[in-house]
Structure 1
Amino acid sequence: MSEPSNHPRWNAPVPPQHPVRKRRKWLWVVLVVLMLVVGGCLAAVGLVVSEVSDEDAGARTVTVTYEVTGDARDVTVSFSVQGTGDLRTEQELEQVTGLPWRREIETSGQEMSSTLVVTVGAAGGKATCRVRVGDEPVRTATASGPHDTATCKSP
């Protein structure tokens, strides 16, 4: 008989090996970049919408209050108001023979400007003007003596 050999007599066919599939990394990179671009666009649109709504909220209606107090017997009062929301300017000149005097005007806009000018008449005396726009601090000024003028401006 023959001696056993370490080698098998017949070799079984080796199954074919499939090539290792590489993952498509570029597909993931494209997806991440696409998500970042879409997210950035959505964030930009959100900021623009927020700014527009803030501007609309800024066009609020406020009350402008004018007051003149004092002991002067005759004064000339001139006031004006400008609001950016309604694009209007109101001006008025009034001869006042008795104090106190008060006027309120409603206007709208983000920025408002108001001026109150008081001039004491020839008889003299003292007149103090006050102007307030919405919740802003009161602006005051005082005129003393004949033909003296006080100007209150806000803001």
Structure 2
Amino acid sequence: MSPPPAYPPQGGPQGWATPPVPPHKKRRKWPWVLLVLLILLVGGCAAFIAAVGHEVDKESKREVTVEYEVTGDAEDVTITYSAYGDGNLSQSQVSGVDPPWSKTQKTKGFVKGGSLVVTTGASGGSVRCEVTVDGATRTATASGAFTTALCDGF
């Protein structure tokens, strides 16, 4: 009987030792998490800027109606009214007016507003100014000689 076959030495061919297998490295997840957060942040900022730009554009094209009105018992009053619109300030003045007086004008643009100034003459009396813009009203009164009622901040 012949001896059992000899097994080759453990390891690689011709008895070489097999190099140790390095332990499996875990991949880091934080760079991917950071990348996703950065993409979300940039996307959110872009969406916010687009929304603000849309609202500013919409407001700059919105047209409003400005209604000026003067009442009272004074005679010979001077009325000065102004309004911002389309990037410009328009101002007008009428003198020698006996109330009631009214004027309506439309304006648009990003900057809106203006004023209504009513000044009584030497004969005195009382005046009331009223400005209505999109349902919001400003009023003021004055009485006596050379007094002024000012409606502004609209």
Q: TM-score range by the shorter chain?
A: 0.7 to 0.9
Mapped contact 1:118–1:127 kept (Cα < 8 A): yes
Regions of 4+ moved over 6 Å: 9-14
Q: Structure 1 71/22 Cα, relative in aligned 2: closer, same or farther at 3 Å?
A: same
* Cα distance in 1 for residues equivalent to 2:108 and 2:6: 96
Matched AA of 1:50:
A
1:54 to partner: Cα distance: 1.9
TM-score normalised according to structure 1 size: 0.74
Look up the SS of the partner of 2:74 in the other structure: coil
Q: Deviations over 1:31-66 (max 9, x none)?
A: 333322222221111111111112122222212221
Task: Name the Cα RMSD after superposition.
Answer: 2.8
Q: CA deviation at 1:11?
A: 8.2
Aligned residue number for residue 139 of structure 1: 138
**Equivalents in 2 of 1:132, 1:12: separation in Å?**
106
Change (3 A) 1:12 1:36: farther
- Residue 77 of structure 2 corresponds to 75
Q: CA deviation at 1:24?
A: 4.9
Q: 1:37 corresponds to which residue? A: 38
Provide the C-alpha distance between the structure 1 equivalents of 2:55 and 2:5, rounded to a whole number of angstroms.
Answer: 86
Which residue number in structure 2 is paired with residue 6 of structure 1? none
**Which residue type is aligned with residue 132 of structure 1?**
T
Structure 2: state its 5+ residue gaps.
Answer: 13-17
Kept in 2, the 8 Å contact 1:132–1:154? The answer is no
Distance 1:11 1:52 in 2: 84
| Identity percentage of aligned residues | 34
Q: What is the deviation of 1:112?
A: 2.4
CA offsets per residue over residues 119-150 of structure 1, 9 Å max, x none? Answer: 112333221111233233x2222222232221
1:35–1:98: structure 2 CA closer, same or farther, 3 Å change rule?
same
Which residue does 1:101 correspond to in 2? 101
Q: Is 1:121 the counterpart of 2:121 in the alignment?
A: yes
Q: Residues 109 and 20 (structure 1 numbering): CA distance in 2 closer, same or farther, change over 3 Å? A: same
Length-normalised TM-score, structure 2: 0.74
2-side partners of 1:118 and 1:10: how far apart? 123
Does the 8 A contact of 2:81 with 2:92 survive in 1?
Answer: yes
Q: 1:74 to 1:21 in 2, by over 3 A?
A: same
Q: Distance in 2 between matches of 1:120 and 1:134?
A: 28
Q: Distance in 2 between matches of 1:113 and 1:88?
A: 11
Q: 1:133 to 1:19 in 2, by over 3 A?
A: same
- Any stretches of 5+ residues in structure 1 without a counterpart? 1-8
